[in-house]
Amino acid sequence: MYSPADIPPSPINHYTNNTIKIGTHNIRGINTIHEQMLFSHYLKTHNFDIIGISETKFKKSATNFAFKEQDIYKYFWSSNDLEPRETGIGLLIKKDIAKHIQKVFRFDGRLLSVSLLFKGKSRILIIQVYLSSDKKSSRIYQTQIRKLITEETKKNINIIIMGDFNAVVLPHLDRLSRGKDKVSIPSHKPEIPLFDFFEDWAFTDLQATWQGDKHTFTWKNSLSEKFYSDGSLTEQGTQHMCIALLTAPSQCKVKINTDSQTCIDIFKYITSKPLTTRQWLRLNNHIVWLRILETVKTKDLSVILFKIKAHSGVIFNEVDRLAKNALNLKPIQFNIIDTGPLFTVPTWDIFFVNINTRNFIKQMHKYINLYTWKSQNRIKKFLTDDPLDQSSSD
């Protein structure tokens, strides 16, 4: 918890009818007046219009006295007196916005939603969530969230869902792998089915949108830092592995040294069980990984991957030097899919889509919209000749 002196001031943008500043925060208990005053000061300093908080640890009786020291926000609570130390969520909404609230829905101290109707019949549903870390209990609330979204979507309403899901979308990057025989390699599958539901219903992950080409996580591990320290790291490692397997004799044992832990993890993932088409298309470089799996199966290879340190003085581990020496060699060409599980490979124009398919569609949609906007005559005069050049825009 920060004291008021520690909170950097920010310019206060006065509320307008078409701009609302929304945030969410896991507060981890805010039962004392002092804590509530500090948090109220933070909200005022940063000019939040709506803020959702999780893990308030309020009993129902305590909500009658919470945040009484401020008069800017109207507050809404959902509590669970049977488990007060592990539940509790709230929404603090500026009073000039709260007058637009039509309906409030509460569920068991884990789910809270408000629906707002603005001028012009613009509707917004804001859902604050705090899912249980217990998988069985979490499924109950996930079902309720899916039901709520399914019903509200029929009303032509814009939905914002936020909070603490006690789960991650990319466990293989955001969960710690503790090494051989200590814990299994984190999965590439989202930890809760609700994330798949969001993807199917075309929800936008705002955190992923804001970060752009950068990759940030609530919890980092060495794998996420290693993978994103060089964007081409995994692609190069995958191609090297594919070439090594293509040149190996049939029915032999292949040992491959690699400095990419991500390659090792993905190889274990694709060889541990059959993947669905959807799971394949979520993988970056899935075309090459498909070819690797096909090669291993058709040649009946036994493959062992070893993690080594690059630039360690070992001649065969000096990747940069070996890559430069191979520049003059003829490229290796192979049929993309022979016996793989995909009946077709996604393409755009004449190019194969070799990254996460949904992410590719989102990026293309973003650039098409940008191109359309910058191609307007009233915008062109402020830009360079290249309508996709963002460096010259204000």
CA angle 231, 236, 237 (to 5 degrees): 110
Two domains, one topology: 4-166 and 230-345: no
- Give how far Cα 5 sits from Cα of 27, 47, 67, Å: 19, 16, 20
Count the alpha carbons within 13 Å of 17 in the hemisphere toward its beta carbon. Answer: 6
| Nearby residues of 253 by Cβ (< 8 Å), 6 or more positions away | 301, 302, 304
pLDDT in tens, the chain (394 residues): 323 333 344 443 444 456 889 999 998 888 888 888 889 888 988 999 999 999 999 988 888 889 988 889 999 999 998 888 889 999 999 999 999 999 999 999 999 999 999 887 789 999 999 999 888 999 999 999 999 999 998 888 999 999 999 988 877 666 655 544 444 555 667 889 999 899 888 888 877 667 654 555 555 554 444 444 333 445 666 777 887 888 888 999 988 887 777 788 888 888 888 888 888 888 888 888 888 888 888 889 999 888 877 655 666 556 556 656 665 666 666 565 554 666 677 787 777 777 777 778 877 888 788 778 778 877 776 665 544 444 444 4
Domain ranges of the chain: 4-166, 230-345, 356-394
Q: What is the pLDDT of residue 143?
A: 94
Cβ atoms of 129 and 121 within 8 Å: the answer is no
Neighbours of 28 (CB within 10 A): 12
Cβ atoms of 79 and 123 within 8 Å: the answer is no
Residue 18: phi and psi, rounded to 5, are -115, 10
DSSP state at residue 18: T
Which CATH number is 230-345 given? 3.30.420
Q: What is the pLDDT of residue 8?
A: 41
Q: What is the pLDDT of residue 184?
A: 53
Domain 4-166 class, CATH top level? alpha beta
Neighbours of 344 (CB within 10 A): 7
Cβ atoms of 40 and 69 within 8 Å: the answer is yes
Separation of alpha carbons 169 and 188, rounded Å:
8
The amino acid at residue 283 is L
Separation of alpha carbons 68 and 46, rounded Å:
20
179: alpha, beta or left, given left = phi > 0 and alpha = psi -120 to 50? left
Joined together, the tokens standing for residue 365 give 């949609």
Structural Rg of the chain based on CA atoms: 26
| Nearby residues of 50 by Cβ (< 8 Å), 6 or more positions away | 20, 21, 22, 23, 91, 92, 93, 94, 97, 126
Q: What is the pLDDT of residue 366?
A: 80
Separation of alpha carbons 326 and 130, rounded Å:
53
Separation of alpha carbons 245 and 255, rounded Å:
10
DSSP string, 82-123: TSGGG--EEEEEEHHHHTTEEEEEEETTTEEEEEEEETTTEE
- Give how far Cα 392 sits from Cα of 210, 373, 374, 389, Å: 20, 14, 11, 7
DSSP state at residue 52: E
